Structure 1
């Protein structure tokens, strides 16, 4: 088994993975799009590669990888789903702990992924690659996109872009299963409800957060365990992965997509394991599915706060302990860009939602007070 050493994390936001690695005794180095206070606190070194409207620039990311010092292992999170070539580059001369670039390419190429689901008999919403005659009730999506930013109503968007596909809209809430795999076997870590926000009419399905609670029945959970087992076997999935799905009008499971890397929902469970999930991710990628037990855990949620207007972070701001992904003083956040993440625990979903609402209000009031102090 790989002993804890140094680890390079490449992700749009490396904060959660870096925190988890540090808890497991690793020394993280990071390349991400924000370089927030959290990531800099956890990492020995953090290099920023700015995110454009379409995510990372592949060339800039390769250059940043080449400029980092050698580490014992390298791993990646969100932000590289459409960049399997960068994952190949990351693996050169490094021990890559994560799924291969080819696995990511298959999972994130819609024509190949939905063909795989069909061959395995795994249900998914009605999907097609040519525009429907009547777009009412259809969504248009784009392969390799993340965070719901490339999901829209088929009637409201350019349907001629490459790698797009059309999918029947379901009216239920999106959910996910976070799981760990060693290429052969798998274990579900938890089932989650995913939240979206339509605050920006151009991004009506943008990811807004998640809670580690769902309304799934035990038969539905068992169905999902079987689906995960099929995908792990077919794709030889390793480490932390996330399966997004919804239920149909009869309660049947319908798979939306597979994220073959650690997802944002890692933060909902990481504190429940003494060594953190990133350590288990590494062990599973190296072929050993760890034996772990998750005791009864509290309801926990993460919620992304998007900037309501252009913001320049004041140096006088004292961040509450329940804020994550905190931008540093002087950092400029454009309207609609992620400002930070707030977290909340509770005995049930209702208490968590109440806590999140109160904390969101408190954060805005704290920022207003810090702005006033900076102006005096």
Structure 2
């Protein structure tokens, strides 16, 4: 899909799925070039141009050569500002550096991403700063009970397994071991300019098993949720400290465990997070990201804070079996105003592949979870009947 430039500034957004970034950038007045793996209907609708950067074969992932070719092609647009990297580049931080040579990267620099995603350096920095996190080690624990094996270059929780899982670890993915800890998985969305941070919202993450070998898969999030005042102040101070320590830029998120009045840090995602969709349109998300990266500007705390009130949840619906979507099924999904990341007719989905996402609203987190479950069930039922 392509069209002539309108003369407005062009922004390239790239990731496994670029839908929410494409919609946010278009809403903010940019011409959008979207690069992703899925090419969903609503992604293409928001973009002036779309190109696939997916790998060939069954495994979902970003192909380096396709990405670089697409960025070089986009660089020929005289109005292009640069590109924003979303999810999926965690496992290929070197690609960020190569991509930045083809087209300016608007976000946390590649060398900073490497530092943040290096477990020894990241948790070593947390220790040096006196910030809490679950115990980490780099040799297999003995006994393994109560420990998880993670991969620093993984994404979406697919890489998290029990420490004694027989599936072999891949050294290139930088595996490490982390002691299991109590608490609810949470995430803080923030905007950074390399020196300081502005908290934009707190969400509760939806994490559940998917299949027999993936016990901690990210499904979505619910927010904005409020933290006790003392915790909110502590989190704000922590984010300022981390941004200055690592030089983070643009939209990022910090994942942590909340256990009563205590929290424990898990990881930083140094790129825009789709949890922004939970907080409404009170902020021009992509213009705020570009401004923080290029001019160092941050919104005021009053402007940045989401309005209190209704909670919103967004959840990925995964395919339970191999399916090729019919035209009737694609039309049924597109007719729902609570359904996003809309697959095109004829698209193929292996078991465990993302099919689409649904959203729901409510006044309590438990209520939103229940409504999301109801919508998942209704969506599956509608697909079975078409």
TM-score, length-scaled by structure 2: 0.90
- Equivalent pair of 2:150/2:175 in contact (CA under 8 Å): yes
Q: Who is 2:13 aligned against?
A: 9
CA distance in 2, matches of 1:54, 1:339: 13
In the alignment, what sits opposite 1:373?
Answer: none
Match of 2:270 in 1: 260
Task: Tell me how far 1:63 sits from its aligned partner.
Answer: 2.7
Are the counterparts in 2 of residues 175 and 214 from structure 1 also a CA contact under 8 Å? no
- Paired with 2:167 and 2:261, the residues of 1 have a C-alpha distance of 32
Query: Do the aligned partners of 1:196 and 1:207 also contact (CA within 8 Å) in 2?
Result: yes
What are the equivalent positions in structure 2 for 1:307-346 lying under 5 Å apart? 307-316=319-328, 317-319=331-333, 320-346=336-362
Structure 2 unaligned spans of 5+: 1-6
For the residues of structure 1 that align with 2:261 and 2:165, how far apart are their CA atoms?
29
Quote the offset at 1:160 in angstroms. 4.3
In structure 2, the CA distance between the partners of 1:76 and 1:338, relative to structure 1 (3 Å rule), is: same
Which of residues 68, 71, 79 is equivalent to 1:65? 71
For the aligned residue pairs, the C-alpha RMSD in angstroms reads 1.9
Which residue of 50, 68, 87 corresponds with 2:96?
87
Any idea what the Cα deviations from partners look like across 1:316-373, whole Å, max 9, x if unmatched? 2322111111110010111111000001112222332232122222212221222xxx
In 2: Cα distance, 1:324 partner to 1:219 partner: 36
Q: What's the secondary structure of 1:72's corresponding residue?
A: strand
8 Å contact from structure 1 (residues 140, 159) kept in 2: no
Change (3 A) 1:297 1:22: farther
Q: Distance in 2 between matches of 1:165 and 1:4?
A: 45
- 2:358 pairs with 1:348: no
Q: Which SS does the other structure have where 1:92 is aligned?
A: helix
Q: Is 2:53 aligned against 1:53?
A: no
Which structure 2 residues correspond to residues 1-376 of structure 1 after superposition, within 5 A?
5-51=9-55, 53=59, 55-68=61-74, 69-70=76-77, 71-158=80-167, 160-162=169-171, 163-214=174-225, 216-248=227-259, 251-269=261-279, 271-273=280-282, 276-286=284-294, 287-291=296-300, 292-293=303-304, 294-316=306-328, 317-319=331-333, 320-370=336-386
- The residue that corresponds to 1:374 in the other structure is none
C-alpha distance 131-324 of structure 1, shift in aligned 2 (>3 A): same
Secondary structure class of the residue paired with 2:189: strand
Instruction: State which drifts further: 208-217 or 327-336.
Output: 208-217
Rounded Cα–Cα distance in structure 2 between residues aligned with 1:193 and 1:363: 23
Give how far 1:93 is off.
Answer: 5.0
Q: TM-score, normalised by structure 1?
A: 0.92
Which string of whole-angstrom CA distances, capped at 9 and with x for unpartnered residues, describes residues 101-129 of structure 1?
A: 01110111111111111111111100001
Tell me the CA shift for residue 196 of structure 1.
1.3
Residue 42 of structure 1: CA displacement? 0.3
Shift of 1:159: 5.5
CA distance in 1, matches of 2:66, 2:106: 22
Give deviations 1:190-232, integer Å, cap 9, x for gaps. Answer: 1111111213111111111110154742222222111111111
Per-residue deviation, 1:96: 2.3
